[in-house]
Structure 1
Amino acid sequence: MLLRLFRGSSRLRVPHERCKSSKVGQTRYARSVKKEGDKQKAEEKLCRAYATAEEYSWKQLRELLESHGGYTLNQLPEDATNVLHAKTENGELFFFSFGAMVSWNLSKPQLVEARKIIAAAQLHPYANSLVERENEEFSYSYERANSQLANGQIVLKEDTDQKNQRLERLAFSNAMALSVKLAMWECALDEFIESINWVPQSLKEGQLRKLSRKNVLQKTGTLVALSHEINLRSDLLENPDFYWDRPQLEELYSQTCKHLDVHFRTRVINKKLDHCSDLVELLRTQLNERHSHRLEWLIICLIGTEIVLDLVGYLN
């Protein structure tokens, strides 16, 4: 059986400016854990997730991390094929092949340095303003209770061995990475919606703007590619196979996805995709009708020409 852990790498271009906040995005940020006060944040252990590129060059990323003295790569289970775990002196990083990274107990300057180190491995990197805008952040602590997401804070069981604790952090990280990647797709869809906002009004006025066949084909391709990434190449519709025989980790992953509204946002974005598909289909229909009308007039002109030639021949 092919394992699909953390699959999905976007090849779509997202807007390079700050994307406009949707109601879904506002809900997500309202539910994200954002502590007030620089002093309080400095004392907390923080877990941060960023989507920095459409995808990572896996081989190059590994080489960059191994060649840098400040990172030690740790072994993960064999079926965790699309994630790298790097340990630092006082924290750790999880890198996902679909272009997302999650840090644990790293300061902002350390994160900036890490992003500089892996820059060469980023394929189609996102604009820095967008990366900083679309992020997730949780505080976490070690307690005697079982690992869980409670009251918007990650709780890790303190007496768990390092291997199991690493897998628990991986489960939390996976959900956070998927959430920030979804945010990038939401921004890409927002940009696409902006490009076709004129269609309903033009239909209402009875004057649909004329587009070239190339433009309509590009819009169709953009929409199909976005839908393909979300529904077929990611784990948004179902939990990764990695968790099938790891129910405790699956529970942590599901808790975090629920807190970040991942499944709700996925349903919303798919409904928007359906509506956009209807609008693009209207453009394609209009284009086909224009082409059919041209063919009809061409046929009429040819018939008329033939009649004239036959009449001239008869008169002669």
Structure 2
Amino acid sequence: RQSLTSFKLFATNSQGIQDNISSLQLKKRLIRRKKILEDKLVRPPGLYSVVAFATAEEYDLERLIKGLRELDLYEPKVIENASDVVHAVAKYQVEKEPREIFFFREGSVVLWNVTDLESSNVLNFLRQYEQDSYSERLVQQESEIMNYRHQSKGRASALEKDGDFLVAICDNPEITLDKYTFSNAMVLSVKLGIWEASLEKYINTIEFVTEDLKKGSKIKISREEVLRKHGELFALRHLINLSSDLLDTPDFYWENEQLESLYLQVRNYFGIAKRTRVMNEKINHCVELIELLSTHLSDKHHTRLEWMIIILIMVEVAFETIHYVDRYMS
């Protein structure tokens, strides 16, 4: 993942900036090692795949439910006390293990035991219910692939050290809640991956500014652009810290300690807390830089206004002097 080294800012004029800013080292964000979707023919018996995608900022779940019923391939169901998710089960079974999908209102989808071809069809179907869709390349790049298999009878669902999901053999409502819990944590990772990519793109757009600052060159960015950049940062910070569950545990798990423990295990596996902390630190560094630019450009603007006033006064004095001399000579 990208990292920004800390820097000290003490002055707002060009020379002061050049003297006091240290190098802003930018590294390409390292893509975390992820599991690869294995072909069913080479996959060990009893091992199934679960894939998560973040495809948009939000889904219209109410219209999506109607669309699923019209499609008549999946049976949409609701999960009690979880109004922002739709659970869909395939009506036509290909094998004994069911095919299930969880659609999350925040623009993410998790597919259990669904083939690559069927996944593509589901993603295409989703497009009509998306708000602010992401690019296909970004969706695929930030997806998460995991494996799951069923636990020995009588044992609870858990997460193995290698990241495989162990799903308990139990009654249908309980196994659905376990799968929902795994899915809920997975969508946090894919959504965070989208935001990490957005921050990386943002940092790349301001890299030239740090070079100008180091060299003491003229800053090639306007006050309006700086204001927009400031807004982009605060919008991203709002998404991460206020509009998501990255910083706390959803209310859904408060009354079920077993599901909460499972949810936290998967969160820890994906490093959600650490990745969120790193993102906030990067955003803070970017905010410092943008605030410096804003102050510097404001000072330049004020200086320009002061010089204009001085020049106008000098012109006025010159005209008065000319008039005085003209009257004196007359």
What TM bracket, shorter-length normalisation? 0.7 to 0.9
Query: What amino acid does structure 2 have at the position aligned with 1:274?
Result: N
Structure-1 separation of matches of 2:113 and 2:312 = 76
Other structure's SS at 2:244 match: coil
TM-superposed deviation, 1:104: 0.8
Question: Alpha-carbon deviation of 1:244?
Answer: 1.2
Contact 1:85 1:92 in 2 (8 A): yes
Larger Rg: 2
Aligned length: 290
What percentage of aligned pairs have identical amino acids?
A: 37
Task: Decide which of 178, 192, 203 is 1:193's aligned counterpart.
Answer: 203
1:239 aligned counterpart, secondary structure: coil
Q: Is the 8 A contact 2:209 2:220 kept in 1?
A: no
Quick check: 2:86–2:102 contact (8 Å CA) kept in 1? yes
Q: Would you say 1:202 and 2:212 are equivalent positions?
A: yes
TM, length-normalised to structure 2: 0.83
Q: One-letter code of the match for 1:111?
A: S
Larger relative contact order (C-alpha < 8 A, sep ≥ 6)?
A: 1
After TM superposition, where is structure 1 displaced by more than 4 Å over at least 4 residues in a row?
A: 35-38
2:288 maps to 278
Does residue 153 in structure 1 map to residue 164 in structure 2? yes
Matched, 1:109 2:121: no
Q: How does 1:19-168 map to 2 (within 5 A)?
A: 22-23=29-30, 25-26=31-32, 29=33, 32-34=34-36, 39-41=41-43, 43=45, 44-77=47-80, 79-89=81-91, 90-143=98-151, 144=153, 145-151=155-161, 152-158=163-169, 160-168=170-178
Contact persistence 2:37–2:49 (CA under 8 A)? no
Note the alpha carbon deviations across 1:165-211, whole angstroms, 9 max, x for none: 11111111000011000000000000001011123322221114231
CA distance in 2, matches of 1:75, 1:55: 18
The unaligned stretches of length 5 or more in structure 2 are 1-26, 92-97
Letter aligned with residue 62 of structure 1: I
Unaligned stretches of 5+ residues in structure 1? 1-19
**Greater mean deviation of Cα atoms: 255-264 or 118-127:** 118-127
2:251 is the counterpart of 1:241: yes
RMSD over aligned Cα, in angstroms?
1.8
Q: Distance in 2 between matches of 1:229 and 1:177?
A: 14
> 1:156 is matched by which residue type in structure 2?
V
- How far has the Cα of 1:42 moved from its partner? 7.9
Change beyond 3 A, Cα 1:147–1:116: same
CA deviations over 1:233-292 (Å, ceiling 9, x no partner) = 111011111111111111111111100111111111111111111111122122101211
Aligned residue type for 2:284: D
What's the CA shift string for 1:122-149, capped at 9, x where partnerless?
1122221221111111111112221000
AA paired with 1:112?
A: S
- Rounded to whole Å, the distance in 2 between the matches of 1:222 and 1:134 is 21
Question: Which residue pairs with 1:11 in the alignment?
Answer: none
Q: Secondary structure at the match of 1:85?
A: strand
Structure 2 letter corresponding to 1:103? L
Q: Note closer, same or farther for the CA distance 1:81–1:302 as it changes in structure 2 (3 Å cut).
A: same
Aligned equivalents of 1:306 and 1:207: distance in 2? 35
Inter-partner Cα distance in structure 2 for 1:241 and 1:298: 59
Query: Is 1:265 the equivalent of 2:275?
Result: yes
